[in-house]
């Protein structure tokens, strides 16, 4: 199986992830949405909760097809590539939270947004950190060591969360150990405030179990690279995915599935589901050869990071552009889409149209064979 064939299912997997990520991040209004497009309020799981861990899984999956190619080139090449990617992705994530860099000053005019109030961690920052640590573990250790690290990280995170969390409720938003560590390391102003309090769902402590999502993707990708698209290989993927989901549901009784805390049971659940999805995609695209539906998602999958960035930037710019008494995003939803659909359908329609706008940018890049790599 050639690299291009071997990467088809992965590119489609990445494309589906980015497509869904844009839809759930850009509703016409956050006041009314279909339930599957919302995150679980706290404990629990929705399809939307699968998006971010799937992106991490795809990062690891891609590493299985790239790392072995340059590892033989020496330590210098490995460290150069790894540090470069980590720094660039982390910095882009930080700048996205700082953007548009200026704000209206109290006395009129504009002023530079203070770095002292800018969120430090976040989605891209977590991707960067997980990629970095997973790369070190995989480069300097065997697959067996990666598995042992994953087991120790998940169990260790459970123990830390229980021991250092609030004795009355260690897994609550205000009593979890991760929040206490983030407040100590970064301070309240550098954390996410979208939950109504200073609490970062991409906090420092919960980065530890999220590394396992990358390692899980790497192990799955390495297995696919070595065993190809055989029925036996797909069957073993499906079996492993099912076992991981069973383990997650069992662990959930003691350490609840929770995306915002990135609990160990959440890791097992999401890796298990991703393994099942990837196995199904390989079966569809390689065994059954049903590929007519794949080009749409390949547009996203071939430029995932760049499209994610422009999707975030475009939406921020739309909020900044005034339109009547509101901004451009709200005007499109209220003055256009609400006239042709019910509020919940108008909100969903905005998200779909915005996703298609981002897709069109990716389509142009794909046609010109422009692929933005870090």
Domain borders along the chain are 3-367
- CA-CA distance, 316 to 108, in Å (whole number)? 22
pLDDT at 97: 86
CB 324 within 8 A of CB 37: no
Q: Give the pLDDT confidence of 292-306 residue by residue, as tens digits.
A: 999 999 999 999 999
Ordered DSSP codes for 178-210 = HHHHHHHHT-GGGS--TTSSS--TT-STTHHHH
pTM, 2 dp: 0.92
pLDDT reading at 166 higher than 60? yes
Tokens for 18, please give them.
């980015």
DSSP 8-class letter at 108? S
Alpha carbon 186 to chain centroid, angstroms: 22
Residue-level pLDDT at 5: 45
> How many other β-carbons are positioned within 10 Å of the β-carbon of residue 342?
12
Which whole-number Å values give the CA distances from 257 to 71, 80, 141, 343, in the listed order? 36, 37, 29, 31
Phi and psi for 326 in degrees, rounded to 5?
-135, -160
Query: Are residues 205 and 213 in contact, defined by beta-carbon separation less than 8 angstroms?
Result: no
pLDDT confidence of residue 266:
98
Tell me the per-residue pLDDT of 152-161, one tens digit each, with 9 for 90 and over.
Answer: 999 999 999 9
pLDDT one-digit tens code per residue, 244-291? 999 999 999 999 999 999 999 999 999 999 999 999 999 999 889 999
């Amino acid at each position: 199986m050639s690299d291009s064939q071997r990467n088809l299912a992965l590119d489609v997997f990445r494309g589906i992830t980015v497509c869904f990520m844009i839809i759930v991040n850009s509703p016409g209004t956050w006041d009314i949405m279909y339930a599957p497009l919302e995150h679980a309020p706290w404990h629990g799981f929705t399809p939307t909760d699968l998006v971010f861990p799937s992106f991490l899984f795809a990062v690891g999956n891609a590493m299985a097809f790239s790392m072995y190619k340059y590892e033989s080139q020496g330590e210098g090449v490995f460290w150069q590539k790894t540090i470069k990617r980590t720094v660039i992705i982390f910095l882009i994530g930080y700048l996205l939270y700082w953007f548009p860099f200026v704000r209206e000053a109290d006395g009129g005019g504009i002023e530079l947004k203070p770095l002292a109030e800018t969120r430090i961690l976040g989605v891209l920052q977590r991707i960067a950190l997980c990629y970095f640590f997973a790369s070190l573990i995989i480069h300097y250790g065997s697959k067996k060591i990666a598995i042992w690290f994953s087991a120790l990280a998940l169990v260790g995170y459970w123990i830390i969360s229980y021991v250092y969390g609030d004795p009355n409720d260690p897994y609550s938003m205000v009593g979890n150990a991760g929040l206490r560590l983030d407040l100590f390391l970064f301070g309240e102003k550098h954390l996410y405030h979208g939950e109504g309090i200073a609490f970062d769902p991409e906090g420092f402590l919960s980065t530890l179990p999220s590394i396992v999502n990358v390692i899980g993707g790497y192990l799955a990708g390495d297995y696919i690279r070595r065993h190809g698209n055989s029925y036996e290989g797909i069957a073993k993927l499906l079996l492993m995915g099912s076992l991981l989901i069973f383990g997650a549901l069992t662990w959930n009784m003691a350490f609840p599935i929770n995306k915002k805390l990135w609990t160990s049971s959440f890791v097992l659940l999401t890796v298990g589901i991703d393994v099942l999805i990837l196995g199904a995609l390989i079966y569809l695209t390689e065994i059954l050869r049903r590929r007519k539906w794949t080009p749409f998602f390949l547009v996203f999958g071939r430029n995932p990071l760049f499209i994610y960035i422009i999707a975030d930037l475009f939406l921020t710019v739309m909020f900044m552009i005034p339109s009547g008494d509101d901004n451009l995003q709200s005007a499109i939803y209220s003055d256009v889409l609400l006239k042709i659909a019910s509020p919940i359908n108008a909100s969903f329609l905005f998200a779909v149209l915005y996703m298609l706008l981002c897709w069109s940018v990716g389509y142009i890049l794909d046609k010109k064979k422009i692929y933005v790599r870090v």
